[in-house]
Amino acid sequence: MRLLLIFPKNERSYWGGVSRSGKAGFLRLGLPTVAALTPGDWDVEIIDARVRPVDYGVRADLVGITGLTAEMPNAYEIADNFRKRGVKVVMGGVHVSALPEEALAHADSVIIGEAELVWSSALDDFKKGALKPIYRAARLCDMKGMAIPRRDLVKREMFSGYHTLQATRGCPFNCDYCTVTAFFGNKFRTRPVADVIEEIKGFDTKEFFFMDDNIAGRPGYARELFEALVPLKLNWGSQASITMAKDPELLRLYAKSGGKYAFIGLESLSQENLDNMSKGWNSAKGYGEAIRKIHDAGINIIGSFVFGLDGDDRDVFRKTFEFIMDNDIDAAQFHILTPLPGTVTYKTLEKEGRIIDRDWAKYHTGEVVFEPRSMTAQELQNGYYWIFRNTYRMKNILKRCLRSPKGVAYRMAVNLSYRKKALKMPEVSLR
Ligand code: SF4
């Protein structure tokens, strides 16, 4: 039996695309994990449509597809094409779990929730010719003894961040716009530190990225993990919440263990906005001090900001830009608020009749798909372009990168890669 696992693509997105050298960013672990859960009598192939075109003539008994909301139009196109050729298709992931009925118009079967608990049943049923339309994971899987993703099935030269792994799943918080808690539940799960270290020891490079949503979500676990990483002398990064700045020992170990950078969701400088998105535990007035503490520990910050919240007016872009420059935030990611299915934001905007565009291909956080409250949709779109272009002007990049002699090369590399995204956007002025 031959199983083809496919990651779809979205060429409109500024994030997760393919560089000029033909490489995608970080290797996503979903399908390599599904491959690891597949019994040995299956021949498995993984295709990432971002880096390799899908060949519909290839022999396959079953196709599995998972993708982000913005990749769903391509995912459905791939599914439809295989089904036209008589090949059965199973889909899973966050979007499909939120909207299974929509996915079932394109797939023979959908997996709702984490695949770990139901994948083998789906494969058994398929072999018996009795594939069910829905497989629903009744609970969250235990992270102890988790399957190690089959990285050997993906070509490493196609990814700039090939070594990725997970130490935790979920997040102790539940921000309105985020799919993490909706999908992974509000239970923060951790893998035994020894399992994580064992997996890392199998890597053949000194660099990796934790795909965790919040590596600092449980400080005690994070400290234990970082301590165990120290002797390995590696370089790594992860997403983390700004709450980690409250724990000096955690910061010290983060840096000592090779944690060079952290993606941190600052999101908004308005406490009212943060409170309204259930992120009131982020203290806007404490940002400056928290950033200093993280920098002082030797950790670079890639700050993430979201625009279009109800309290955001046209001034938000200039104020945020000045904050980034004044605080020497090493690099920043910008996102337009996007109502992803399954989130509180989606339900709220849907109820208020403010979703104006349902083309999932535009749900990559770089296009406006809803009616903002305190500015027009065009002002929001232009403001997004303006802050992206301005943050990545060379003089602004240099000012932030030169904040300290340590780590300049790393900061320059990150900034220049984001500058490439910025240069794809139109040059606009703020009115
Ligand atoms: S802290 Fe981050 S991962 Fe956690 S719920 Fe909020 S946005 Fe999602």
pLDDT the model gives residue 56: 96
Q: Cα–chain-centroid distance for residue 178?
A: 10
- Is the shortest distance between the CB of 304 and ligand 1 below 6 Å? no
3-state secondary structure of 2: strand
Name the residue at shortest CA distance from atom 6 of ligand 1. 175
CA torsion through residues 411, 416, 417, 422, sign: positive
Mean pLDDT on 39-68: 95
Task: Pull the structure tokens for residue 39.
Answer: 């019994």
Name the residue at shortest CA distance from atom 3 of ligand 1. 213
CA distance 42 to 366: 39
Pairing of strands 189-190, 168-169: antiparallel
CA distance 7 to 342: 20
pLDDT the model gives residue 160: 85
Sheet arrangement for strand 331-336: 164-165, 207-210, 235-240, 259-267, 300-307, 331-336
- DSSP string covering 6-31: EE---TT-SSS---TTS-EEEPPSHH
pLDDT tens digit string along 280-328?
888 999 999 999 999 999 999 999 999 999 999 999 999 999 999 999 9
Q: Can you state the angle between helices 219-229 and 193-201, rounded to 10 degrees? A: 30
- Is the shortest distance between the CB of 312 and ligand 1 below 6 Å? no
- Is the shortest distance between the CB of 217 and ligand 1 below 6 Å? no
Q: Which ligand 1 atom is at minimum distance from the Cα of 171?
A: 4
Ligand 1 pocket check: which of 94, 168, 171, 276 to mutate, most ligand atoms within 8 Å of Cβ? Answer: 171
pLDDT tens digit string along 114-150?
999 999 999 999 999 999 999 999 999 999 989 999 9
For residue 123, what is the DSSP state? H
Q: Which ligand 1 atom is at minimum distance from the Cα of 181?
A: 5
State which fold the 155-422 domain adopts.
pyruvate-formate lyase- activating enzyme (3.80.30)
pLDDT the model gives residue 281: 87
Q: Could you identify the residue written with the tokens 């941190």?
A: 264
pLDDT the model gives residue 316: 98
Mean pLDDT on 29-44: 97
pLDDT the model gives residue 186: 75
Residue 18 has pLDDT above 80, yes or no: no
Residue 22 has pLDDT above 90, yes or no: no
Name the pLDDT band for 21 (thresholds 50, 70, 90): confident
- Is the shortest distance between the CB of 182 and ligand 1 below 6 Å? no
Residue 17 has pLDDT above 90, yes or no: no
- Is the shortest distance between the CB of 265 and ligand 1 below 6 Å? yes
- Is the shortest distance between the CB of 13 and ligand 1 below 6 Å? no
Q: Are 398 and 415 in contact (CB under 8 A)?
A: no
Mean pLDDT on 32-44: 97
The β-bridge partners of 336 are: 307
pLDDT the model gives residue 108: 98
Helix locations, 213-368, DSSP H: 219-229, 248-256, 271-276, 287-296, 316-326, 344-351
Q: Which ligand 1 atom is at minimum distance from the Cα of 172?
A: 4
Q: Which ligand 1 atom is at minimum distance from the Cα of 267?
A: 7
Per CATH, 2-136 and 155-422 having the same topology is answered no
Q: Which ligand 1 atom is at minimum distance from the Cα of 180?
A: 8
pLDDT the model gives residue 173: 85
Phi, psi values for residue 57, rounded to 5°: -85, -5
Mean pLDDT on 174-197: 90
CA distance 422 to 430: 16
Ligand 1 pocket check: which of 174, 176, 180, 305 to mutate, most ligand atoms within 8 Å of Cβ? Answer: 180
CB neighbour list of residue 270: distance below 8 Å, 6 or more residues apart: 284, 309, 311, 312, 316
pLDDT the model gives residue 187: 83
Residue 85 has pLDDT above 90, yes or no: yes
pLDDT the model gives residue 182: 79
- Is the shortest distance between the CB of 171 and ligand 1 below 6 Å? yes
> How many percent of the chain have pLDDT more than 90?
88
Q: Cα–chain-centroid distance for residue 397?
A: 24
Alpha carbon of 180 to ligand 1 centroid (Å): 7
Q: Which ligand 1 atom is at minimum distance from the Cα of 179?
A: 8
Alpha carbon of 366 to ligand 1 centroid (Å): 19
CA distance 395 to 128: 63
Mean pLDDT of all residues in the chain? 95
Residue 13 has pLDDT above 90, yes or no: no
- Is the shortest distance between the CB of 369 and ligand 1 below 6 Å? no
Task: Pull the structure tokens for residue 333.
Answer: 């990611």
Give 351 or 179, the one with higher predicted confidence: 351
Name the pLDDT band for 33 (thresholds 50, 70, 90): very high
pLDDT tens digit string along 328-352?
999 999 999 999 999 999 999 999 9
pLDDT tens digit string along 231-267?
999 999 999 999 999 999 999 999 999 999 999 999 9
Name the pLDDT band for 174 (thresholds 50, 70, 90): confident
The CA angle 223-228-234, to the nearest 5 degrees, is: 105
CA distance 77 to 246: 47
Residue 112 has pLDDT above 90, yes or no: yes
C-alpha closest to that of 245 among 296, 208, 201, 179: 296
- Is the shortest distance between the CB of 180 and ligand 1 below 6 Å? yes
Q: Could you identify the residue written with the tokens 């970080």?
A: 26
Q: Could you identify the residue written with the tokens 């956080």?
A: 365
Residue 373 has pLDDT above 80, yes or no: yes
Q: Is 3.40.50.280 the CATH classification of the domain at 2-136?
A: yes
Alpha carbon of 181 to ligand 1 centroid (Å): 8
Name the residue at shortest CA distance from atom 1 of ligand 1. 173
Q: Cα–chain-centroid distance for residue 348?
A: 22
Residue 353 has pLDDT above 80, yes or no: yes
Would you put residue 50 in left (φ > 0), alpha (ψ -120 to 50) or beta? alpha
- Is the shortest distance between the CB of 282 and ligand 1 below 6 Å? no
pLDDT the model gives residue 265: 96
Write down the domain spans for the chain: 2-136, 155-422
pLDDT the model gives residue 97: 96
Residue 15 has pLDDT above 90, yes or no: no
CB neighbour list of residue 291: distance below 8 Å, 6 or more residues apart: 245, 301, 327, 328, 329
- Is the shortest distance between the CB of 178 and ligand 1 below 6 Å? yes
